[in-house]
Amino acid sequence: MESSPEPYAQLGHHLWRPYKPNCDGADDHICVAGFQPDFLFRDYVTTQINMLLWISLISVTALLLRKLIGIFRLWAKARLIPGPPCPSSFYGHSKLISGSNLTDILSKSHEEYGPAVKLWLGPTQLLVSIKDPELIKEMLLKAEDRLPLTGKAFHWAFGRSSLFVSSFNEVQERRELLATDLNGKMLERANVFPTKVVDCVMERIQDLTVEANLDCKTVSQHFAFTLLGATLFGDAFLAWSKATIYEDLLKIVAKDACFWASYIVTPFWKQGFWRYQYFCTRLKSLTQDIIQHCKQNNKLFCQMDHIPHEKTRNRGGEAALDASHSSNTVVPEHLLLRELDGRHDAGESCGTIMSVMFHGYLTTSGLIGNIISRLAANAELQQKIHSEILVARRDQQSVEKMAFLLATVYESSRILPAGPLLQRCSLKHDLNLKAGVTIPAGAILVVPLQLVQMDESRWGSDASQFNPCRLLSNAEKKSDSVHLTSFADKLVDVGQDSYVLNDPNKNAAFLPFGSGTRACLGQKCAVLGVAALFASLLERYEIRLHPGSENEPNPMMNNYAPQLLPGPKIVFVKRG
Ligand code: HEM
């Protein structure tokens, strides 16, 4: 009787045959050539896939567990920091914050809960605000990284090589290089160029005045842009035909940078984003243009041919400093060319320059705008500074000797900080501060600048008033601070004696330029440059409020985008 075919033969799938270890005869070739290896292979693949699935399951579970432990840790540690109770456990305080001014909320919280307070921005996002100046100094020294959001805004606008990225390790070397530049050649220029800057801007302003009245914001933006450009790029910048387009592009990018950076993933699908990218690309190509322009026009750059490139690249700031001490080597004195020299991708190398232009433009225009409006509203102060300038010119002294003018610059930066908050993130490690406060890893740290810089316990009962005299003391009796009487009295008082400037940086509550590891590198350059600019301007012009503008508010920084709000209308009257 014929034996019935095996089920696998009927199916025609020899792969389904069971393994026969002792098979012989006709079946042999099946065992060896097809059946056994196929089965083994399939079995092997199944086992491998199962293994992979198990591994991924275990990894994902471990990852989730780690996250969960991290969140519990954050909650446990955050419990020790005081703060207002959460209105919602899911949204935390974020809804409350989005509806009103963060500084106001922090002000109330600090009043009630002390110098360090916490706010939950969601179940996993903790914000810690610090108001005590000593704690702030310590925190800003220890926490090195800036918030990723700011870094992202700069990254998307100017590329990877921006100086304002989150990680300190990534920018440490470039910070050192820039510091060498800013304290060397550029500081000299900040003292020398302002007369030309004033001429250049006044010429432009005269054209603009024909069309419209000038507000503080427009004027200060022109001054800041021209001052910064001349300081970074030298004479060539003042004659550069594309400067106006460059300034317009900077304004557009400033307006949109934070908005686009707030997207978690790059918003490729948004038309506006591509327009924004187009402006950033144009800004980059114009930056390359001005660099080329500088190279051709400025003798300064001839020296760069002799730079020991590798040495400079590998050792960064150290090499720059060493070179400056060696008589045989030429100092690589300009950041711009060092940037172009050190990298192969010239487009990317513009990042540092653009980010410095961008940051310097926004911050310096805020400062200049505030000074202009204060001077326009205060004829006595202006007169006092004018007299000081005349004396300094007669005695051939630099702006560093103009105590009254410098006090005005510093006091303006105290009253109107460039932004409402300094921010850091402690990222991977807990931050233990001396006062016994522990800030858990992953928390966002902020310093509410307006609260610290207008704290009456640090600045006196007139802390919210503009009063440059608070930074002056009698030259003979150094300890006798001027800020004991009213501002008008002080001006009369100051007129009779000679006064010196007390370094505001010695007050821990003076933070317009930040502090610690990521402090502003441009402070000295900006303060001296702006002071020199006003010395040239006030020597030749008087600043007045436009009739009818007396009650318009002083310029303010927009809290939602890094921008200055218009401020009062002003006129410049040429001195006889
Ligand atoms: C009135 C003018 C300026 C103000 C008020 C200002 C303010 C600031 C502030 C608040 C910070 C952050 C500090 C911190 O987080 O601790 C900063 C950082 C910085 N500023 Fe300025 N700045 C001004 C002008 C300039 C200029 C003119 C330059 C360069 C030419 C410059 C270069 C920098 C750099 C390189 C950083 C540090 C970036 C980093 O490491 O994250 N600043 N500035």
ipTM computed for the complex:
0.96
CA of 523 relative to ligand 1 center, distance in Å: 7
pLDDT at 306: 39
Distance in Å, CA 522 to ligand 1 centroid: 6
Chain centre distance of CA 74:
27
331 lines ligand 1 (CB under 6 A): no
Q: Whose CA is nearest to atom 3 of ligand 1?
A: 363
| CB-CB contact of 290 with 340 (8 Å) | no
CB 332 within 8 A of CB 300: no
Nearest residue (CA) to ligand 1, atom 14: 514
pLDDT tens per residue across all 576 residues of the chain: 444 444 444 444 444 444 444 444 444 444 444 556 788 888 899 999 999 999 999 999 999 999 899 889 888 988 999 998 887 767 777 777 776 788 889 999 999 999 999 999 888 889 999 999 999 999 999 999 988 887 888 888 887 767 888 889 888 888 888 888 788 777 877 777 788 888 888 887 776 655 557 888 889 999 999 999 988 888 888 888 899 999 999 999 988 888 888 888 888 899 999 999 999 999 999 998 888 887 777 554 444 433 333 333 333 333 333 333 333 333 334 555 555 454 445 555 578 888 899 999 999 999 999 999 999 989 999 999 999 999 998 988 889 989 999 999 999 999 988 888 999 987 778 999 888 889 998 899 999 999 999 999 999 999 999 999 999 987 665 544 544 445 555 555 555 557 889 999 999 999 999 999 999 999 999 999 999 999 999 999 999 988 877 776 666 655 544 555 667 888 888 887
Using the mean position of ligand 1's atoms as its centre, give its distance from the Cα of residue 535 in Å: 23
Q: Is the CB of 420 under 6 A from ligand 1?
A: no
From the CA of 506, how far away is ligand 1's center (Å)?
A: 18
Cβ partners under 8 Å of residue 379, min gap 6: none
Indicate whether residue 519 lines ligand 1 (CB < 6 A): yes
Looking at the CA of residue 228, tell me the nearest atom of ligand 1: 27
Please count the other Cβ atoms lying within 10 Å of the Cβ belonging to residue 96.
16
Q: How far is CA 431 from CA 135, 253, 259, 426, in A?
A: 11, 35, 30, 7
The structure tokens listed for 413 are: 């930066």
Report the distance separating Cα 387 and Cα 307, nearest Å: 46
> Residue 426: enclosing H or E segment and its boundaries?
none
User: Which pLDDT does position 203 carry in this prediction?
Assistant: 81
Give pTM, 2 decimals: 0.81
Distance 193 CA to ligand 1 centre (A): 21
Q: Which of 162, 359, 364 to mutate to test the pocket of ligand 1 (most atoms within 8 A of CB)?
A: 359
As a whole number of angstroms, the distance between CA 190 and CA 525 comes to 6
Q: Which long-range contacts (CB under 8 A, 24 or more apart) does 500-507 make?
A: 500/403, 500/472, 500/473, 500/474, 500/475, 501/403, 501/406, 501/407, 501/410, 501/471, 501/472, 502/471, 502/472, 502/473, 504/410, 504/414, 504/471, 507/133, 507/458
- Ligand 1 pocket test: which of 162, 182, 513, 525 has the largest number of ligand atoms within 8 Å of its C-beta? 513
Whats the size of the chain, residue-wise? 576
Question: Which atom of ligand 1 is least distant from the CA of 186?
Answer: 30
Ligand 1 lined by 133 (C-beta under 6 Å): no
Cβ–Cβ < 8 Å for 511, 454: no
Distance, in Å, from the CA atom of 451 to the CA atom of 468, rounded to the nearest integer, reads 19
Contact between 15 and 38 under an 8 Å Cβ cutoff? The reply is: yes
Separation CA 280–CA 357 (nearest Å): 13
User: For position 542, what pLDDT does the model report?
Assistant: 93
